Amino acid sequence: MITQITTDIKQAADALRANQVIGIPTETVYGLASNALSPEAVSTIFSVKQRPTSNPLILHFANLEQAESYIKEFHGELKVLYDHFSPGPITFLVPKTASVPNEITSGSSLVAVRFPSHPQFLALLNLIDFPVAAPSANKYGSVSPTRAEEVLAQLNGEIPLILDGGTCHYGLESTIVGMDGDRVIVYRLGSIDLDELSATLGYIPEIKNQAEQSPLAPGMVKYHYATKTPLHYLRKDLKFKENTGYIFIQSIPQGFPSSPCMTLSSTGDLKEVARNLYHTLITMDGCGFNAIYIEKPLDEGLGLTILDRLQRATAKFN
Ligand code: TXA
Ligand code: MG
């Protein structure tokens, strides 16, 4: 199969109508999308991604009205978050109706729904009349792509089409929220940070994002988002070694040459760090180094999401 990259939204809509699985841009990371109501298309997502079918998929809609017949209950607290953050990088875990196929939720009575803000994806969603299932467009366990060429590098020859929507604005996956009684719970830290959620809700929601804490989110596995090259946190006492890549948050310290070293943001702005993180990991991973070392961000705001991803990425090599 030849994988074509296009900017033609109509062509992408036709491919989805024909139950094909295609790469699509979102404001968070690229997705591997199909018609959620087509069992063969959904099963192709799992096989292309090499993802266990026990790990459910997010449904994407243009707005809450489009999603209505798939959702049994949308709690008022979630509505507050919807009104504030959607369309945008937030996913809601809510009770599903019988219209949601069981393969989508891996048998769970809850479905994850998201209303993306990426203009091309939103335009695409408005052209079709079925929900789009889309996990991130990486092979299971690998780093999520944030550019069309990175989708191509991982899935060349396995999907017919990638809709090119440029570089993803946020660069980290959506924040997943659900309810426990009358309180919002965070199941995955994401592009909307805990401070923003807390300011909107008036309280700090509990985070349940560890596999053992949350059988609800089977994707919260211990090892994920990993490079092929062993990835470790940079320690303060570490000296430069040959054949090793170094990723710093803001600036390259003395004693480290500029060439195998990269920085994530010249100003240290965490939004920019997030936007560049996966791209930098993928770039470094392609350099053939023996190891990659990355500086830890502070554990506040978006730094918590970045740490969550790096924790799961480095865990594989500890
Ligand atoms: O930003 C995003 O959310 C991206 C873009 C493409 O929308 N999508 C994404 O999907 O990150 P994925 O499949 O890579 O991660 C979704 C996570 C998985 O950990 C999955 O287990 C969890 O959401 N999830 C999906 N549906 C669920 C459900 N019904 N119950 C519990 N967890 C669910
Ligand atoms: Mg993913």
Q: What is the pLDDT of residues 75-92, one digit of tens each?
A: 999 999 999 999 999 999
Residue with tokens 């309280």: 203
- Max CA-CA distance within the chain? 61
Length of the chain: 318
| pLDDT > 70 in the chain, percent | 97
Give the tens place of pLDDT for each residue, 200-233: 999 999 999 887 665 555 556 777 889 999 999 9
The arithmetic mean of pLDDT across residues 188-207, rounded, is 97
Cis peptide before 87 (omega within 30 of 0): yes
Pairing of strands 58-60, 132-133: antiparallel
Q: 114: Cβ below 6 Å to ligand 1?
A: yes
The arithmetic mean of pLDDT across residues 305-314, rounded, is 95
Name which of 190, 235, 158 is nearest 3 in CA terms: 158
Pairwise CA distance, residues 30 & 138, whole Å? 8
Q: What pLDDT score was predicted for residue 214?
A: 57
Centroid of ligand 1 to alpha carbon of 212 (angstroms): 17
Cβ atoms of 28 and 173 within 8 Å: the answer is: yes
Pairwise CA distance, residues 150 & 166, whole Å? 11
- Backbone dihedral region of 215: left (phi > 0), alpha (psi from -120 to 50 degrees) or beta? alpha
Q: In what order do the strands lie in the sheet with 291-294?
A: 231-233, 291-294, 244-248, 261-263
Centroid of ligand 2 to alpha carbon of 177 (angstroms): 16
List beta partners, residue 178.
185
Q: What pLDDT score was predicted for residue 60?
A: 98
Pocket test for ligand 1, best of 60, 125, 173, 210 (most atoms within 8 A of CB): 173
Q: Which ranges of the chain does DSSP label H, i.e. alpha helix?
A: 9-17, 39-49, 64-67, 76-85, 102-105, 119-127, 148-155, 194-201, 270-285, 302-315
Residue with tokens 């060439």: 259
Pairwise CA distance, residues 254 & 267, whole Å? 18
Q: What pLDDT score was predicted for residue 218?
A: 55
Cα-only R_g, the chain: 19
Q: What pLDDT score was predicted for residue 21?
A: 98
Q: What pLDDT score was predicted for residue 238?
A: 87
| Nearest CA owner, ligand 1 atom 17 | 219
Say whether 70 sits in a helix, a strand or coil: helix
Q: 305: Cβ below 6 Å to ligand 1?
A: no
Q: 169: Cβ below 6 Å to ligand 1?
A: no
The arithmetic mean of pLDDT across residues 223-245, rounded, is 92
| Nearest CA owner, ligand 1 atom 33 | 217
Q: 55: Cβ below 6 Å to ligand 1?
A: yes
Say whether 254 sits in a helix, a strand or coil: coil
